[in-house]
Amino acid sequence: MRHLPRPRTLRARLTFGLVVLLAVSCAAVGLAAVIELSGFLVGRLDQQLAQAGNRFPESLEHGGRLPDDHDGDERGDTRRQPTGTFGACLVGGVVTHAAVVRPGSVGAVSLTAADRDQLRAVPQDGAGHTVDLSGLDSYRVMASRGADGDVLITGLPLEPVEAVVHRLELVAAVVFGAALTVTGVAGALWVRWSLRPLSRVAATATRVSELPLASGEVTLPPRAPETDPRSEVGQVAAAFNRMLGHVEDALLRRHASEERLRGFAADASHELRTPVASVRGHAELALLHPGPVPPEITRALERIAAESGRMGEMVDEMLLLARLDAGRPLERGPVDLTRLVLDAATDARAAGPGHHWALDLPQEPVTVTGDEHRLQQLLANLLANARQHTPPDTWVTVSLAGDGTSAVLRVHDDGPGIPEDIQPGVFERFTRAEHRRRADAVGGGAGLGLSIVAAVAQAHGGGVELDSRPGSTTFTVRLSTG
């Protein structure tokens, strides 16, 4: 049974259960009818045996001579014995005569040793008993004591009873089989119709599961239709719709919170640009003072200028992310990615002379439609990430390929790789910076570079993937050329 296929859907299980229950009921009804009919017919056969009495076996007592109709001996009258009537005489437990009434005559019966044993074992209780005679099939027999002290056995064939019972079995099988087929089809249609509201709930849930719920404004599909609230399906639909209402409210609240946060980040970044630039300008102006300045003051001014410059870059990056999050449209124009890769690799070689830089570019230029400045920033961030987080003498390979519908950019290095615990959130904001503080790594900015890479790639209809292990780290960027 464990290897039999089992229905998986609720609709199939309900239909299967309905058919099984009906099949069990039909089998019980059919079995009861067959048993009752068989018992009734056998009882009628016993009544016929009792009415027939010992007339036929008594005709066999005297040497098997069959008296004619004018002998005047009532004991030998066989005119009213139906065809197939069996008679036998036993004297001292030995079968002396055995015969059966045939159409127009009476014929002797040849008995085997097993047949004789069955006849000797028939009790003389005036009740019918079933025996299986080798030459006559099954018979219902009744034994009684004769006038001469011998045992007389009269029997009638069970074949008519068995034929009627078998016919009933055949008719019941055909009728019940047809009923099961019709009930199965009708039950499947009925269950399908009854579960239509549940199917609509499942369809609505499927549409909700396909929505991008991670961020942004989300519009949920129409609610599932509600039916009778007293039914289980109606209760499921109502509960599901209430859940969708709570989810929609939570998504609206989250979106409003994200919008406020993005507005704050954009406003704060925009407002910080002026004071940061002012601090940096004053620090550089102080460094240009012609008079003598203590070394400590000079060092402090240099650190102020450097940190204000880094803070300015961070503000610009935060402002860019805020603009990308807000969905502001980028510039759209043809961009030669091959030229951008050459320029970015040249800049990276100048910034990181301790690394080995290699290019793998196609013979034909790869062109995409997008924002040239943002794509240049994407390349610069990827190469800066490879330079800052790998030791000197590391090989960094930049490859570019295009197939007409998309462009694939890969930046590979043979450095120590990115720890596995950081990889799941490597494109999230400030993730690398937080881990760097714990791991005490060197180099880098505020940890927004890879976030900008992911945001710019997504804004150009593509995405970025990471494959990193010790000795091999590859960032793969896919961009749509359309």
pLDDT tens-place string over residues 328-351: 667 888 989 999 999 999 999 998
Tokens encoding 45: 């056969």
Does 194 or 34 have the greater pLDDT score?
34
Q: What is the pLDDT of residue 221?
A: 66
Which pLDDT score is estimated for 6?
A: 62
From 52-66, 141-155, 231-245, the region with the lowest mean pLDDT: 52-66
Architecture of the domain spanning 333-480: 2-Layer Sandwich (3.30)
Greater pLDDT, 359 or 254: 359
How far lies 75's CA from each of 59, 119, 455, in Å? Answer: 6, 22, 116
pLDDT of residue 445: 54
SS3 content of the chain, % helix, strand, coil (to 5): 50, 20, 30
DSSP for residue 112: -
Q: Residue ranges per domain, the chain? A: 1-52+159-194, 54-157, 211-328, 333-480
Q: How far apart are CA 128 and CA 141, in angstroms?
A: 5
User: Which residues does residue 398 pair with via DSSP β-bridges, in sequence order?
Assistant: 359, 411
CA 317, distance to chain mean position in Å, is: 45
Average pLDDT over residues 412-433: 80
6 residue type, one letter: R
Handedness of CA 354, 360, 364, 366 (dihedral sign): negative
For the segment 203-216, the average pLDDT, to the nearest whole number, is: 69
pLDDT at 54: 80
In 3-state terms, what secondary structure has residue 481? coil
Cα 373 to Cα 371: distance, rounded to the nearest angstrom: 6
Looking at the chain, the whole-number percentage of residues with pLDDT higher than 70 is 78
Q: How confident is the model at residue 213 (pLDDT cuts 50, 70, 90)?
A: low
At 290 the pLDDT is 75
Residue 71, pLDDT > 50, answer no
The amino acid at 71: D
pLDDT at 72: 41
pLDDT reported for residue 52: 80
Query: Is the pTM higher than 0.75?
Result: no
Type and span of the H or E element at 262: helix 232-287
Q: CA angle at residue 178 from 172 to 179, to 5 degrees?
A: 85
Q: Highest mean pLDDT range out of 77-91, 177-191, 286-300? A: 177-191
pLDDT band at 225 (very low <50, low <70, confident <90, very high): low
Whether 70 has a pLDDT exceeding 60, the answer reads no
* Mean pLDDT, range 102-127, rounded to an integer: 84
Determine which of 13-27, 58-72, 184-198 has the lowest per-residue pLDDT on average: 58-72
> Cα(343)–Cα(158) distance, rounded to whole angstroms?
106
State the residue for tokens 């609509």: 200
Architecture of domain 211-328: Orthogonal Bundle (1.10)
Closest alpha carbon to 411 in 341, 324, 311: 341
219-233: burial string, b at 16+ Cβ within 10 Å, e else: ebeebbebbeeeeeb
Neighbours of 277 (CB within 10 A): 15
CA distance 250 to 321: 24
Confidence of residue 358 (pLDDT cuts 50, 70, 90): very high
What are 87-104's pLDDT values in tens digits? 888 888 888 888 888 877
Instruction: Note the pLDDT of residue 357.
Output: 93
Q: Give 284-327 pLDDT, tens digit per residue.
A: 777 777 777 778 877 887 788 777 777 776 766 666 666 666 66
What pLDDT, on a 0 to 100 scale, did the predictor assign at position 35? 92
**253-258 long-range Cβ contacts below 8 angstroms, 24+ apart:** 255/216, 255/217, 255/218, 258/215, 258/216, 258/325
